Amino acid sequence: MALAAAITDLEQLKDRPAVSALLAWNRSAIEGAKFDRNELSIYVAREFIREACNQLKTQGLFNFFSDLTCADFYPREPRFELAYQLLSHRHKEFVRLKVSLSGDDAVVESLTPVCPASNFFEREIFDLFGVRFLGHPNLRRIMLPEDWEGHPLRRDYPVEGYR
Amino acid sequence: MGHLSHTPVLDAPEEKTMVLNMGPQHPSTHGVLRLLLEIDGEQIVRMVPDIGFLHTGIEKTCEAKFYQQVVPLTDRIDYLCPMVNNLCYVMAVEKLLDLAIPPRAQWMRVMLAELQRISSHLVWLGTHALDMGAMSVFLYCFREREDLLRIYEMVSGQRMMTSYFRIGGLALEPPLGFFDAVKRFLNTFSEKVDEYENLLTGNFIWVDRLKGVAHMSAEDALAIGVTGPTLRASGVDWDLRRDLPYSGYENFNFKVPTSPDGDVWARYVCRIEELRQSREIAKQALEGLPEGPTKAEAPKVVLPDREKMKTEMEALIYHFKIVTEGFAVPAGEVYQAIESPRGEMGYYVVSDGTAKPMRVHMRSPSYANLQALAKMCEGRLIADVVAAIGSIDIVLGEIDR
């Protein structure tokens, strides 16, 4: 059960198609990469995420948007980590793009204008985490009633009992 | 009741259109889906799905449970194929733990997952036909589904909420008579599929009702994030079982049915063929089932056998520790995707190194597929909405979670 250590050195990972494509496109957009448990994560600067996803898609590399979700690392800052799972039908592999957001400025560009699949996923994160997506055509709560207070999937929101 | 006043409503922008509310109690919405339809005569101008009526906060609950306690929760997401959900979750945690699963457990998992695909597709076929006005097909489908539920009950003690797959293997070795029951079912099932096809495939009313309805192109399907049989019926040849094999699927021979048409009929044809292919896979798994243990060699993670607990001190200690304080999972994050009957089911699990998951996210195929519904229906007739809902085979339990 000895886990192989994660590779976090960008130099060692630059031959991976997703990493090389993003590095060739814009070196400054990439904050780091991690290869852990056979899965590749690329940390992207917040202002470049829409364009990074769009690049991977238009280059025909990662043509399919699989999933978008968020994790709250409260009380650590930046507390939110968005995880975009992209799938390549050609290379038969997933890649995860990650964006870190701080608690007092949880805003990121929406992917929906370039990738309609992320519409519901972004609304869900807005609803349950309170992360706002700029440029989303219909950013309203999706699971909870419109007048709900708070965002239940945040770590500082209690699991049971009254708020 | 206060929140009811805030329920989204559509304001009709032009004088000639009106707004029609469909659901959430409408029987053809397969649960509690609410659709807001802006209509011009019989034509749909705009469609807005309203979901969340079944939201139970399962993802939040997972964060308060030990890793092994999450397995029963995953049953309740997609209640038509609980074992597929179990499989996806346990595989995600096994990836975090880097556990090797013995071949016998993997093959059993494949066999049961395929039986679940059959029973899930049977519910789809029965209810879809019922929506379209063919009453008797429902009874035929549920006859076979009953056999399958008995098989699940044999193996797990439960008909629907099975929780049979555990982190590191299976809950129990299957009981005596189980393999005979599966064999009996698989031997007769081909004829049963012929029977459904006899009722529907050549039936003029059925063909007329389905062909050319709710069309979606491959480009649209890929852009909207559609997966599973709905995507394959639009002509995209992609199946995670074949293309990114997991749990030993690379050892099985099967075809992935596709169709270029992209209408309700194509989805019907693809799923019917999947029934046959799933039977093939389950048959191969049954015939080639390897001998050996059904649990991984990891005493700190997998509960010991009952017999060992009564004879070995260590086994008893491990049992006590797993049940009372769980097991720590090394920090990290994984995304495990598998092919559920509805499409790409993915579990994103983040561990912070403790015995409880820091985040469990379910990427449910119905959730993404539902986004395609508006695309399928806008510009078409009200009567085809029900056909379109049936054809994407949604389960509201996994949409709302």
Read off the pLDDT of residues B337-346 as tens digits, 9 standing for 90 and up.
999 999 999 9
Radius of gyration of chain A (CA): 17
**Structure tokens given for A136:** 């989303």
The 3-state DSSP class for residue A67 equals strand
Q: B226 falls in which pLDDT band (50, 70, 90)?
A: very high
ipTM, interface predicted TM-score of the complex: 0.91
Token pair for A19: 């990493």
Q: For the ranges A124-133, A142-151, B79-88, B228-237, which has the lowest average pLDDT?
A: A142-151
Of B55, B244, B361, the CB nearest to A92: B244
Task: Tell me the residue type at B306.
Answer: R
Residue B54 CB neighbours (<10 A)? 17
Residue B308 lies in a domain: yes
| CA atoms of B57 and B64, how far apart (whole Å) | 12
Tell me whether residue B88 is in a domain: yes
Please report the DSSP string for B91-119 in residue order. Answer: HHHHHHHTPPPPHHHHHHHHHHHHHHHHH
| Cβ neighbours of residue B170 closer than 8 Å, sequence gap 6 or more | B105, B108, B109, B164, B294, B295
Whether A117 sits inside 8 A of B238 (CB atoms) is no
Q: What is the CATH number of the domain that holds B217?
A: 1.10.645.10
Using a CB-CB distance cutoff of 8 angstroms, which residues of chain A are in contact with residue B2?
147
Average pLDDT over residues B187-198: 91
Cβ-count burial of B42 within 10 angstroms (0-12 exposed, 13-18 middle, 19+ buried)? exposed
Residues 295-314 of B with CB under 8 A from A: 298
B289: Cβ–Cβ under 8 A, 6 or more apart, which residues?
A: B104, B107, B108, B111, B179
The answer to whether residue B141 sits within a structural domain is yes
pLDDT at B375 over 90: no
Cα(B395)–Cα(A36) distance, rounded to whole angstroms? 33
Q: Does B1 touch chain A (CB under 8 A)?
A: no
Chain B environment of A142 (Cβ under 8 Å): 51-52
In chain A the domains, ranked by start, together with CATH numbers, are 10-106 (3.30.460.80)
What distance in Å separates residue B173's CA from the closest CA in chain A? 24
Give per-residue pLDDT as tens, B296-343: 888 888 888 888 888 989 999 999 999 999 888 998 899 999 999 999
Is residue B358 a part of any domain in this protein?
yes
CA neighbor of B151 nearest in space, from B132, B120, B174: B174
Decide if pLDDT at A1 tops 80: no
CB B231 within 8 A of CB A63: no
Share the mean pLDDT of chain B. Answer: 88
Segments forming the whole domain that contains residue B262 = 58-400
Nearest-CB residue to B6 (from A83, A115, A147): A147
* B22 domain residue, yes or no: no
> Between residues 118 and 147 of chain A, which touch chain B (CB distance below 8 Å)?
118-121, 128, 140-147
- Total domains in the fold of chain B: 1
- Whether residue B349 is predicted with pLDDT greater than 90 in this model: the reply is yes
B9 belongs to a structural domain: no
Interchain CB contacts (distance < 8 Å): A and B: 119
Burial (CB < 10 A; 0-12, 13-18, 19+), residue B114, is: buried
Residue B333 lies in a domain: yes
Residue in B348, B350, B362, B376 to test binding to A, most A beta-carbons within 10 Å: B348
Residues whose CB falls within 8 Å of the CB of residue B369, separated by 6 or more in sequence, listed in order: B225, B226, B227, B228, B230, B342, B343, B392, B393, B394
In a domain, B242, yes or no: yes
Tell me the pLDDT tens digit for each residue of B264-283: 999 999 999 999 999 999 99
Query: Under a CB-based contact definition with an 8 Å cutoff, are residues B346 and B91 in contact?
Result: no
**Which range, of A65-69, B141-145, B377-381, averages the lowest pLDDT?**
B377-381
**For range A121-144, the mean pLDDT:** 89
Query: Within an 8 Å CB–CB cutoff, is residue A113 touching chain B?
Result: no
Residue B304 DSSP label? P
Entry pTM: 0.90
